Amino acid sequence: MTLNQLLPLVVLASSLLPGLLIFALPEERHRTRSALNLGGALIKLALVLWMLWGVYNQQLYEVRLAFLPGLELVFRVGPLALFFIILSSGLWLVTTVYAIGYLEGSPNRSRFFGFFSLCVTSTVGLAMAGSLFTFLLFYEMLTLTTYPLVVHRGTEAARRAGRAYLAYTVFGGALLMAGTVWLYTLTGTLEFVPRGFVSGLDPSYRTQLVLIFILLIAGLGVKAALFPLHGWLPMAMVAPAPVSALLHAVAVVKAGAFGIVRVVYEVYGVEFAFGIGVTYPLAIVAAVTILYGSLRAMFQDDLKRRLAFSTISQVSYVALGVAIVGPIATIGGVVHLVHQGVMKITLFFCAGNMAETLGVHRISEMNGVGKRMPWTMAAFTIAAFGMIGLPPFAGFISKWYLSLGALEAGREWVVLLLVISSLLNAAYFLPILHVAWFRQPDGPWPEERDYGNRETAWALLLPPLITAGFTIAIGLFAAAPFTPLEWAKLISLREFGTP
């Protein structure tokens, strides 16, 4: 086995092996547990950056493992896969630092960090999947490894959220599996290829391909929280803040959105999907989800629930960019995978800081919190401005390219949708900023913890400051080499042959 074949397996092992070792650690071995977590995260990120340089210089990283007769586990790292792997491995590192600080002194940390590592292994595995079959296996593994994180607190609310999460995601997985098996009976292959592998089928299969597309998108739409398959996500906000950050920015929701991208581009091919008439309905579903999520967010007092409905809205920009059909819209949709992840993880880190430091969980409790926790609220403000789409933050870049792509494709209504969405984003974020910065505290905080002359622990403060910095940097320097925008252009070039 060559080095290029071995690297994808080593990337998987860099989180799988630490996770398995962590399960065996006693609770009091917190330094060993932290070393395994951080060491695995650093090794994974270093390997991914190595592959980034290789893929940029047209190296092929691929390995095939025998699994079933006629079916192999295929791991292949190309531009699209690497785009998601960088997001997962980079944000895993900062989330690991945050989780170590957040869970200090809490029970069952070995169990938490073991499943935490297995969750990232599943995410990276589906990112590197070279076939729909491999993707399906890791997609289901992601469900199994995230469920213990959702129910980690062990409360009745956590167990209820876990039951809802399993009900939704197992149902979604069943739909995805049904579509995958049906597709295999028609094509005899499930390997991802640029511009899809179903376009060569006889036109008589069109009705079946439309039905298969519906099954695949519905199965992926559960994790992507497309309306009306989103119900599990707000309930899952009872999980600890690091889990919420992981669900929204790195793993589950992003896995669903990434899967939609792969189905449209590498199973059907976007032009073939457009030809059989399935992209416009997908655009309508995405548009409805964008508006629905924003409207529901406006009426949530619980901060994490407001952020959850914001995610429902924002992640659908990815599906919308795919469904518009065109090179510029592709750039806007694909780049939002990273942009939304960086901004949303910042918001959840900040929400966790306020809950852990002050006992603040509701927006109605946030009066004057900016004076007590100025650095945390500064990071929150930057991410909120990015979500609204203000320049020069990352969210502006996504919405700019989505708007240009919509005009290029003759979908002027999408521009109006994006304007309305931005106004709704402002309507549910700006009131938070107002009460935090401009109102006086009502009195003592609900459960204030003493950190001396610091606003909170460094392990809690540093991660949102880093990700808030990225929110600014990837907007200001969007045209620089190796930025998410430039990489999204490379993906669009592969799909359409035009930058």
Q: Does the pLDDT of residue 153 top 80, yes or no? A: no
Helix (H) / strand (E) containing 4: helix 3-23
Q: Does the pLDDT of residue 444 top 90, yes or no? A: no
The CA-based dihedral angle spanning residues 170, 173, 175, 178, taken in that order and rounded to the nearest 10 degrees: -120
Position 482 confidence tier, pLDDT thresholds 50, 70, 90:
confident
On whether the CB atoms of residues 346 and 335 are closer than 8 A, the answer is no
On whether the CB atoms of residues 352 and 98 are closer than 8 A, the answer is yes
Query: Rounded to whole angstroms, how far apart are CA atoms 249 and 340?
Result: 7
Q: Does the pLDDT of residue 477 top 70, yes or no? A: yes
Position 203 confidence tier, pLDDT thresholds 50, 70, 90:
confident
Under DSSP, the state recorded for 54 is H
| Integer angstrom CA distances of residue 285 from 11, 207, 280, 443, 470 | 35, 20, 9, 45, 30
Give the pLDDT score at 252.
82
Give the pLDDT score at 496.
66
Helix (H) / strand (E) containing 74: strand 71-77
On whether the CB atoms of residues 374 and 347 are closer than 8 A, the answer is no
Average pLDDT, the chain: 88
Burial 323-335 (b: 16+ CB within 10 A, else e): bbbbbbbbbbbbb
pTM for this structure? 0.91
Position 208 confidence tier, pLDDT thresholds 50, 70, 90:
very high
Under DSSP, the state recorded for 440 is P
Q: Residue ranges per domain, the chain?
A: 3-496
On whether the CB atoms of residues 332 and 402 are closer than 8 A, the answer is yes
Of residues 162 and 429, more confidence is placed in 429
The residues, any chain, with a CB within 8 Å of residue 273's CB and separated by 6 or more, are 196, 213, 264, 279, 325
Under DSSP, the state recorded for 441 is P
Residue whose entry in the numeric block shows the structure tokens 């510029």? 328
| Integer angstrom CA distances of residue 252 from 129, 150, 335 | 16, 11, 18
Give the pLDDT score at 499.
45
| The pair of three-digit structure tokens given for residue 63, joined into one six-digit string | 């390995």
φ, ψ of residue 186 to 5 degrees: the values are: -85, -40
Helix (H) / strand (E) containing 207: helix 206-224
Give the pLDDT score at 183.
94
Question: pLDDT > 90: what percent of the chain?
Answer: 42
SS (HEC) of 90-132: HHHHHHHHHHHHHCCCCCCHHHHHHHHHHHHHHHHHHHHECEH
Cα dihedral sign, 52-54-59-62 = negative
Peptide bond before residue 228 is cis, with ω within 30 degrees of 0: yes
Give the pLDDT score at 309.
92
Give which of 390, 260, 380 is closest to 321, Cα–Cα. Answer: 260
Give the pLDDT score at 234.
83
Burial 73-108 (b: 16+ CB within 10 A, else e): bbbbbbbbbbbbbbbbbbbbbbbbbbbbbbbeeeee
Q: Over the stretch 243-259, which tens digit does the pLDDT of each residue have? A: 777 776 777 888 899 99
Query: Rounded to whole angstroms, how far apart are CA atoms 91 and 241?
Result: 14
Q: Does the pLDDT of residue 466 top 70, yes or no? A: yes
Q: Over the stretch 80-137, which tens digit does the pLDDT of each residue have? A: 888 888 888 888 889 888 888 887 777 777 888 888 889 889 999 999 999 999 999 9
On whether the CB atoms of residues 97 and 463 are closer than 8 A, the answer is yes
Q: Does the pLDDT of residue 488 top 70, yes or no? A: yes
Give which of 491, 352, 377 is closest to 441, Cα–Cα. Answer: 377
As a whole number, mean pLDDT of residues 171-184 equals 94
What beta strand segments (E) does 420-484 contain? none
